[in-house]
Amino acid sequence: MALVAIVGRPNVGKSTLFNRLTEERRAIVDDQPGVTRDRLFGEVEWTGRTFDLVDTGGLVPRSAERFDAAIREQVVLTLGEADVILFVVDTLTGTTEPDQEVAKMLRRAEQPVIVVANKADTEGRKNDAAEFWGLGFDQMFPLSSVNGTGTGDFLDAVVAAL
Ligand code: GDP
Ligand code: MG
């Protein structure tokens, strides 16, 4: 089955997007009571098409906001394994230097790269997302992983890219 990978710097909403797309509202509970852990792999079904989804943010140790070895490692994993790459950015912060660094690496990708302008909860932020065309990719979708706005058009594009 096709593998779709979510990549991006910390706090842009990768895990929240993953949970919305996999419709997994409940975190997996570890053996130890009270300990929850982010799920990293899931299956997504949309208009009769199914794909595997991975949240690469959880595959490498979480670290600071800057572009560092952990984010680089995410991108390297993604470039090696994914059929489609979801590059998540944040409409609240706009483009940051770590986003630029990720973009630079992903521009060399052979796979389709879809920019996800997350946290576009309102019309205003949806409009702000236009700046992310500047990252240099062919596809960019403003959406909200929290309220679900924009996820339909985005998923149409993902399954079209499989
Ligand atoms: P990750 O580090 O990229 O996995 O980011 P998380 O999924 O942990 O989210 C980081 C923060 O952004 C959390 O406080 C989320 O609730 C918040 N967040 C994620 N998606 C959205 C969204 O669509 N809208 C808003 N307003 N906040 C969001
Ligand atoms: Mg996360």
Distance, CA of 105 to chain centre: 15
| pLDDT tens digits for range 31-77 | 455 555 567 899 999 999 999 999 998 777 665 555 678 888 888 88
Distance (angstroms) between ligand 2 centre and the Cα of 111 equals 23
| pLDDT tens digits for range 73-97 | 888 888 999 999 999 999 999 999 9
Q: How many domains does the chain have?
A: 1
DSSP helix/strand/coil, 77: helix
pLDDT of residue 30: 44
| pLDDT tens digits for range 8-24 | 999 999 999 999 999 75
Residue 128's pLDDT band, with cuts at 50, 70 and 90, is very high
Which residues sit in the known binding site for GTP? 8-15, 55-59, 118-121
Q: What is the CATH number of the domain that holds 105?
A: 3.40.50.300
Q: Give residue 30's domain range.
A: 3-161
Closest among 151, 161, 153, 157 to 22, alpha carbons compared: 151
